[in-house]
Amino acid sequence: MTIREKSEREERERLSPYAKCCLDSAGRQRPEEPCPMRTDFQRDRDRILHCKSFRRLMHKTQVFLSPEGDHYRTRLTHTLEVSQIARTIARSLRLNEDLTEAMALGHDLGHTPFGHAGEYALREVCEHGFVHAQQSVRVLERLENDGRGLNLCAEVLDGVRCHSSGQRAQTLEGRVVRYADKIAYMNHDIDDAIRAGVLGISDIPWDLQYILGRTKSQRITAMVVSLVENSSDDIRMSEDIQGAFDKLHKFMFEAVYTNPAAKGEEGKAKEVVKSLFSYFVTHPDKLPGEYHGILEEEGAHRAASDYISGMSDRYAVSTFQSLFIPKSWSL
């Protein structure tokens, strides 16, 4: 019996009957020889962790554009916090932690530069629209690995696809990741907003502080404990914690996510993305060679949005400058 087979048997014995075991996976689009050591979900996690799109997350905006300080979150640190919270919940519920981690690590790979500002910009100009969750799946299925995709298991792709859209994940692990994403970004965005002077702790409604706690750690703990104590055949919070969770989400949109002090530069960021998109749709021959196959098969809008959405913030700015900003005359 291989190490992988022992792990698969151990999953059967240890995990909840509501968990998704590797042996019950719907599998990959292209069959592969199993790894002698890792289960399929472990293998998917490792493929995501080592892919180029994952590394680029370190230079993509979470909320604050190009913040002057080393302690503000990026899209990469957000992803790691989501993974930690999701794994804690999954382990406590005896769900499949490897599957949960793979979904969490891959959930934002399709996010644009400049956070949601870039996403909204592409959504406005692309003929096929743009949703970062769907683009994350496209990165995993089509764009990574020199256009061959990572050939991940269907359950991982489903969890990534459903982490923020109106769709409901087929697995409990996917539903855990959806909650973990919101728990992570609401709480670390409060932390960053306070650091930036956009928000004060006293601005958070007193009833939310009473129910959830005053600190980031207290709030996360309250939410995670409520999920663990109230979930079984589905993932849910208690009524009072869910109500506070929803109210905090609404508060953050009003106080931070649409606050001109935090979002004042987003108009410029959107124009950068729209200008790049217009240029590459008009001049598709200027796209890198790896996107020419997409151009021929799916058109300029798809190829341009794939290229631009994969850019880091600084690469998008650098590309914009090289295309639209006059260079100094040199002798």
Q: How many whole angstroms separate alpha carbon 179 and alpha carbon 184? A: 9
Condensed to tens digits (0 to 9), the pLDDT of residues 156-195 reads 999 999 998 778 999 999 999 999 999 999 999 999 899 8
| In contact, 99 and 156? CB cutoff 8 Å | yes
| In contact, 272 and 114? CB cutoff 8 Å | yes
* pLDDT at res. 266: 84
Q: What is the pTM of this model?
A: 0.95
| In contact, 254 and 213? CB cutoff 8 Å | no
Domain boundaries, the chain: 39-263
DSSP string, 120-162: HHHHHH-TT---HHHHHHHIIIIITTTTT----BHHHHHHHHT
Compute the average pLDDT of residues 72-79. Answer: 92
pLDDT at 23 over 80: yes
What are the residues whose beta carbons fall under 8 Å from the beta carbon of 124, sequence distance 6 or more?
274
| In contact, 140 and 152? CB cutoff 8 Å | yes
Compute the average pLDDT of residues 286-307. Answer: 97
User: Phi and psi for 145 in degrees, rounded to 5?
Assistant: 60, 45
> Residue 265 corresponds to which tokens in the numbers above?
């530069």
pLDDT at 281 over 80: yes
Q: How many whole angstroms separate alpha carbon 87 and alpha carbon 283? A: 45
Residue entry with tokens 């996976």: 25
CATH number of the domain at 39-263, out of 3.40.50.300, 3.60.10.10, 3.40.50.150, 1.10.3210.10? 1.10.3210.10
End-to-end CA distance of the chain: 71
Lowest mean pLDDT among 20-24, 70-74, 148-152, 168-172: 70-74
DSSP string, 163-197: SSSS---SSHHHHHHHHHHHHHHHHHHHHHHHHHT
